[in-house]
Amino acid sequence: MRYELYYWTGIQGRGEFVRLALEDAGAAYTDVAREKGDPVIMPFLRGMHPGALPFAPPILRAGRQVIAQTANILAFLAPRHGLVPASATSQIYAAQLQQTVTDIVAEAHDTHHPISVEQYYEEQRAEARKRAAAFCTQRIPKYLGYFEQVLTRGDGRHAIGRRNSYVDLSLFQLMAGLTYAFPHTMKGLRRRTTRLRTLCDRVSDRPNIAAYLASPRRIPFNEDGIFRHYAELDET
């Protein structure tokens, strides 16, 4: 079966977590909006397609099934492609970790939009500086400290069990995004993120991921996405 992914063009965004899983698995998929344009997403949001009603992209179509919410899409895909162990306990733990990635991704977004998603960054710069300071000094260390502990608790190299899983791919993406947006902060956390950084090296060396990252399918990070680099937000 060929999957259809629907996500806003021009940014990695939340869709990137799904892309990394599909790419690592070597799954056949079409990144529909990138071929046909963002308007193809609207009928889903307007309820014109049967099946689940999405609040927002990413949206995955798998045959007749429509699935939204990043962590939910990944929990659906992973067991079909060997990206999570078969045991229910492992899959529940993986979902828990992925939902925690969802949380920090939302917080990363809010560093540049602390007041309203309907306003430009430039309209909320003062508040963004304050929120980003709290994010960089408190939240990033707390979340990454947690994920380091998760790795330590496992075999030291993988989030779940002793094999690569979709959670590892998402941790790679989280680290890549944070490092792009907050290089100064992340540099200061190097010694406290050794396991995460080793994981990132391993993930980026996986053949399908390496090929993907080198391809035009990998959209560069930019200041329209979730992880944005504004130097003034990375000063603390």
**Residue of 1, 26, 36, 53 interacting with a second copy (CB under 8 A):** 53
**Residue of 20, 25, 27, 68 interacting with a second copy (CB under 8 A):** 68
Q: What is the closest distance, in whole angstroms, from the C-beta atom of residue 122 to a second copy in the complex?
A: 15
For residue 68, what are the contacts with CB-CB under 8 A and spacing of at least 6?
A: 52, 54, 55, 56, 57, 58, 59, 60
* CA distance linking residue 27 with residue 25, whole number of Å: 5
Structure tokens at 84: 């999570």
87 exposure class (CB count in 10 Å sphere: 0-12, 13-18, 19+): exposed
**Residues 104-163 close enough to bind a second copy by CB under 8 A:** 106, 110, 114-119, 124, 127, 130-131, 134, 138, 143, 146, 149-150, 153
**Residue of 5, 25, 95, 108 interacting with a second copy (CB under 8 A):** 95
Which residue number, 155 or 211, has a Cβ lying nearer to a second copy? 155
Closest CA to 143 of 81, 87, 189: 189
For residue 205, what are the contacts with CB-CB under 8 A and spacing of at least 6?
A: none
* CA distance linking residue 132 with residue 139, whole number of Å: 9
Structure tokens at 7: 């996500």
Residue 92 sits in the site that holds a second copy (CB under 8 A): yes
Q: Which stretch binds a second copy (CB under 8 A): 6-14, 68-76, 176-184, 205-213?
A: 68-76
Which residue number, 160 or 209, has a Cβ lying nearer to a second copy? 160
Structure tokens at 225: 């996405």
Residue 42 sits in the site that holds a second copy (CB under 8 A): no
Residue 69 sits in the site that holds a second copy (CB under 8 A): yes
Residue 4 sits in the site that holds a second copy (CB under 8 A): no
Which residue number, 144 or 209, has a Cβ lying nearer to a second copy? 144
Q: Which amino acid is at 1?
A: M
Q: Scanning the structure block, which residue is given the tokens 């430039």?
A: 122
Binding site for a second copy (CB under 8 A): 47, 52-55, 65, 67-69, 71-72, 75-76, 89, 92-93, 95-96, 99-100, 102-103, 106, 110, 114-119, 124, 127, 130-131, 134, 138, 143, 146, 149-150, 153
